Amino acid sequence: MPPCALAAIVQRESVGQNVLQTGVPPGPGCGVGLTQITYGVDWSNPKLPTFSMAGASYDLLDPGSNLLVAAGGFLAPAIAAMFNLRIDNAETMNRFSTEIAYFAFAAYNAGAGAVAQAIANGQDPNGVTTDNYASDTLSIYHTLCAQSHGDDEPE
């Protein structure tokens, strides 16, 4: 898992604030924590939203648990799904980006199925995301990667 990819999601989603989504009441559809997880959240206790994964339950307001769920439950599967999607759709995908991260960020936001459908229709999957999520998060990712290598500007 590229650490800068997870950090880019945190920057894009919450700017590093471990909060419930501003302006959305706690419950289904409300983003939770650093990575603003919405899908699959158990809201049976609105003060303790949790996520079940691999037989364990994670407190999404605990930063470490939130990052673990985002990485293991969403980003890693998105990366794997986008590598698999590229096998049969490289030419179409390359029209939009040569970077798997672009498609993985789109899948993190809109779901792998929505990205696959956009590609099948010959469309840029960034169009099915919220506010250009894929391109914005990829830009953040490039900046963070450059900074982590001591560069001032991304290549």
- Domain with residue 100: its CATH number is 1.10.530
pTM of the predicted structure, to 2 decimals: 0.93
Q: Report pLDDT digits (tens) over 85-108.
A: 999 999 999 999 999 999 999 999
Domain assignment present for 153: no
Whether the CB-CB separation of 82 and 100 falls below 8 Å is answered with: yes
Could you give the CA distance from residue 58 to residue 54 in angstroms, rounded to a whole number?
10
Could you give the CA distance from residue 38 to residue 46 in angstroms, rounded to a whole number?
13
Whether the CB-CB separation of 31 and 37 falls below 8 Å is answered with: yes
Number of domains in the chain: 1
Is the confidence at residue 1, as pLDDT, over 60? yes
Band (pLDDT 50/70/90 cuts) for residue 149 is: confident
Could you give the CA distance from residue 97 to residue 131 in angstroms, rounded to a whole number?
17
Domain assignment present for 155: no
What six digits make up the tokens of 80?
């794997």
Q: Report pLDDT digits (tens) over 99-144.
A: 999 999 999 999 999 999 999 999 999 999 999 999 999 999 999 9
Which residue range(s) make up the domain with 77?
3-148
Q: Report pLDDT digits (tens) over 38-87.
A: 999 999 999 999 999 999 999 999 999 999 999 999 999 999 999 999 99
Domain assignment present for 82: yes
Domain assignment present for 154: no
